[in-house]
Amino acid sequence: MTQESQRPKKFSYAAGSLLSVADLSVEDVSAILSVASQLERRPTAERARLLAGRRIALLFYESSTRTRTSFELAAKSLGATTTLVSDKSSSIEKGESLKDTGLTLRALGAECIILRHPSSGAPFVLARETGVPVLNAGDGMHEHPSQALLDVRTMLMRLPGRDASTATAKSLDGVTVVITGDILHSRVARSNALLLPRLGAKVLLCGPEPLLPEVALHLGAGVEIVRDFDAALRRAQVVMMLRIQKERLAGLELDLANYIERYQLNGERLAARAPDALVMHPGPMIRGLEISGDVADGPNSAIELQVSNGLSVRSALLLRALYTGGFESVTV
């Protein structure tokens, strides 16, 4: 079978790329979760041979702690060689274009590029121009697909009666996920709102209108807007809080004191409205603003588990990217 024939018909970029959750079928999501679970069971030495000798470039135009570190550690744990290129220590600072930077990395032997970029759609440009598999590590206000996948795995691990090693259209049946905060600027919210309903979940988006315009309803079926956070919490099995992105608030009329009063998830509010709800946050979180410290550190919190799942899910995505049509060969 030729490489060309292995490419999904609906997707014209290099096989193994992940630019949007919309490119994933439920079967694709299931395969990624399955490999993530299998990798965790494999001995370290065996895991380190899976990508031995392969070259992976991390191209980051924005700061990152969790995403960059987990992708890098995942690649190294699989035996790959990695190189980090940031906008502050490369020719990007001198004005080199994304296309030319990508072509340079390809010429140096990069077989996969992990990209974070402030412009929505940048991963599509890089994938088109280089022809190598590209993993979207967050692009502008568009998407953060690997975060949505690790969020799904976290929910399936913590919610009773679920299986985190597979996914079907009913995996999250009966689960209502409340996503609260700066929906307008959040690529995490967009990816989750696109993916979770396809696995059976109901998604409630919650926040004041400057951070949650009505157009968000167009994200798809299974998505609803609720302005009253307390009312949304009463329906929630999962509460996902989002950081207030102060750097993006220019021009918006938002009273932070009023926001904290109406939308902060604190211990009193959680105990009164959703005492059994799973609490999630993609980070970085601002304690005392969108979430209180007692909730972030409390028994309902799955925030550290989200970070841990970043390693296993991103390991699976790297295997998917570099094994192309042979992704199934890593299953056991």
Q: For residue 116, what are the β-bridge partners?
A: 60
Provide φ and ψ at 243, rounded to 5°.
-65, 140
* 66 appears as a binding residue in the annotation: yes
Instruction: Kindly tell me the number of DSSP H helices and DSSP E strands found in the chain.
Output: 13, 9
* 264 appears as a binding residue in the annotation: no
Q: How many CA atoms lie within 13 A of 310 on its CB side?
A: 22
CA distances from 258 to 87, 167, 272 (A): 36, 39, 20
**Residues of 114-136 as b/e, b for ≥16 C-beta within 10 angstroms?**
bbbbeeeebbbbbbebbebbbbb
* 9 appears as a binding residue in the annotation: no
* 116 appears as a binding residue in the annotation: yes
Nearest one of 143, 54, 1, 77 to 315, comparing CA atoms: 77
Within a 10 A sphere around the Cβ of 291, how many other Cβ atoms? 26
* 81 appears as a binding residue in the annotation: no
* 320 appears as a binding residue in the annotation: no
Q: For residue 86, what are the β-bridge partners?
A: 60
* 142 appears as a binding residue in the annotation: no
* 128 appears as a binding residue in the annotation: no
* 162 appears as a binding residue in the annotation: no
**Measured between alpha carbons, how far is 261 from 240 in angstroms, rounded to an integer?**
17
* 153 appears as a binding residue in the annotation: no
Q: For residue 216, what are the β-bridge partners?
A: none
Nearest one of 6, 13, 22, 9 to 191, comparing CA atoms: 22
Which residues line the annotated binding site?
66-67, 94, 116, 144, 147, 187, 243, 283-284
What are the binding residues for L-aspartate?
94, 187, 243
State the binding site for carbamoyl phosphate: 66-67, 116, 144, 147, 283-284
